[in-house]
Amino acid sequence: MIVLAFVAFGIFGGDSEDDTASAAEVTTTEAPAAAVTTTKSAAEVSASQAASSSRTAAAAAAAAAEAEKRRQAEAARLDPNTYETLGERDFALLTKNPDSFVGRKITVYGIVMQADAATGNKQFLARTAAEPMGASYNYDQTTLITTQDPSIIANIVEDDFVTMHVEVSGSYTYDTKIGGSNTVPEFKVNIINVTG
């Protein structure tokens, strides 16, 4: 009897043990990673705001400085005292090699030789010199006079005697009426006065 009980226990009890072991197995799953949040201290926030304000102030200061620089340049452009007077020899050197004088601000005198529909409303041709001449034939250097603002030369007509405050632009080559070409100095006029 006892032997039979052990045999029965061995047959039926073994399966139960395996079931228990299976039931006891632990299933594990990975928990999702916790979200990482970064918080800044009050000092860090304050420092960040200060840096941003500093950049804004620096940009505003740079813009103001640039605006002031432009204002001063414009004031100088419209001030006849900021233009140099060339002697006859220096003017001859300029007409010989206008490109070496680019950007120079000078005062020149002349007589308008062509200001019509062919030249347009932003330029005209003049004969010029470094100083005022007594007669029109004494102005012997042909020069192209240009402007960005047509209103500056709107009242200029052929045969006007003029005093001009100009910036040297360099040399300019244009076609003549007889089919040739001519290379002359080019001046950008900023101030012009009719003197006769």
pLDDT in tens, 123-178: 999 999 999 998 999 999 999 999 999 999 999 999 999 999 999 999 999 888 88
Query: Whose structure tokens read 């007589």?
Result: 111
Outline where 25-83 has alpha helix (H). 42-77
pLDDT in tens, 45-79: 888 888 888 888 888 888 988 888 888 888 888 89
Closest alpha carbon to 103 in 83, 88, 129, 78: 83
* Position with higher pLDDT, 113 vs 11: 113
CATH number belonging to the domain at 83-194, selected among 1.20.120, 2.40.50, 1.20.1070, 1.20.1300: 2.40.50
The DSSP output letter for 119 is: T
**Residue 16 pLDDT greater than 50, yes or no:** no
pLDDT range class, residue 33, cuts 50, 70, 90? low
**Residue 87 pLDDT greater than 90, yes or no:** yes
